[in-house]
Amino acid sequence: MAEASVPIEFAEYADDELPELLRVQVLDFQRIVWPEGFAGANRFRTWTSHPSTAPIHQLYAAGSQLVSHLEIVTVTVTVDGHEYRAVSPTAVLTYPAFRREGWSTRLNARAVQRIDRSTADIGLLTCSPELAPFYGRVGWTLARDVPVIVGPEGRTWQSEDVLLTRAIGSRSRDALERLQDHPLRIQEEW
């Protein structure tokens, strides 16, 4: 089988500029790999991350074929009763045929450049424990033993994911100090 002649190229899009064909490939991947986000009232969800989180998509594609993707969202989190604006990469994915070629690591490196320039309070991400070293490669720090508590007051549960952080703004240190003794509280997993 010959290699495709279309080169794999980087692109970045605001959410409302993401070409529909690429959006569908992100959505289909999410629907299959993370079905819990597409259940019940969200069965017909058409957004990759809720538009209120102002997603910025960074991706590699060969023409209209998606190779690898992530999006950077902005969310409000709470630690010890204090609110912080956090920027976070999410929907991090590489289609199976292109895995272990470094595509996602390249996107992670680009994402942190953008996150480090952000005016938010802190960089955060959550992931399964075995992927913590993968994000550690581009400077994310594992917040060891910090529980991530999800859901509205009185109906919370503890996420199985681990938390990684990145100091970016003047309030990062304040948030990181509080995280030493308090869980991260979020309304929903993103």
Q: Find the binding residues for ligand COA in span 37-66 (CB under 6 A).
A: none
C-beta atoms surrounding 185 within 10 Å: 18
Binding flag, residue 94, ligand COA (CB under 6 A): yes
Q: Which region among 4-12, 39-47, 88-96, 175-183 touches ligand COA (by CB under 6 A)? A: 88-96
Closest to ligand COA by CB, 80 or 95: 95
**Residue count, binding to ligand COA (CB under 6 A):** 17
In the complex, minimum distance from the CB of residue 140 to ligand COA, in angstroms, rounded to a whole number: 11
In this structure, the dihedral spanned by the alpha carbons of residues 184, 186, 188 and 190, taken in order and rounded to 10 degrees, is -70
Rounded to an integer, what distance in angstroms lies between the CA atom of residue 27 and that of residue 161?
21
Closest to ligand COA by CB, 8 or 178: 8
Q: Find the binding residues for ligand COA in span 65-84 (CB under 6 A).
A: 68
Rounded to an integer, what distance in angstroms lies between the CA atom of residue 73 and that of residue 56?
7
Closest to ligand COA by CB, 125 or 168: 125
Task: List 65's β-bridge partners, or say none.
Answer: 62
For residue 86, what is the enclosing H or E element?
strand 82-94
Q: Which region among 43-51, 78-86, 128-136, 178-186 touches ligand COA (by CB under 6 A)? A: 128-136
Rounded to an integer, what distance in angstroms lies between the CA atom of residue 37 and that of residue 147?
21
Q: Of 44, 106, 34, 35, whose CA–CA distance to 69 is shortest?
A: 106
In the complex, minimum distance from the CB of residue 189 to ligand COA, in angstroms, rounded to a whole number: 11
Tokens of 183: 């869980």
Binding flag, residue 127, ligand COA (CB under 6 A): yes
Closest to ligand COA by CB, 116 or 189: 189
Burial class (CB in 10 A: 0-12, 13-18, 19+), 121: buried
Q: Pick from 105, 141, 156, 159: which binds ligand COA (CB under 6 A)?
A: 105
Judged by the rule CB under 6 A, the positions of this chain that interact with ligand COA are 33, 68, 92-94, 99-105, 127, 130-131, 133-134
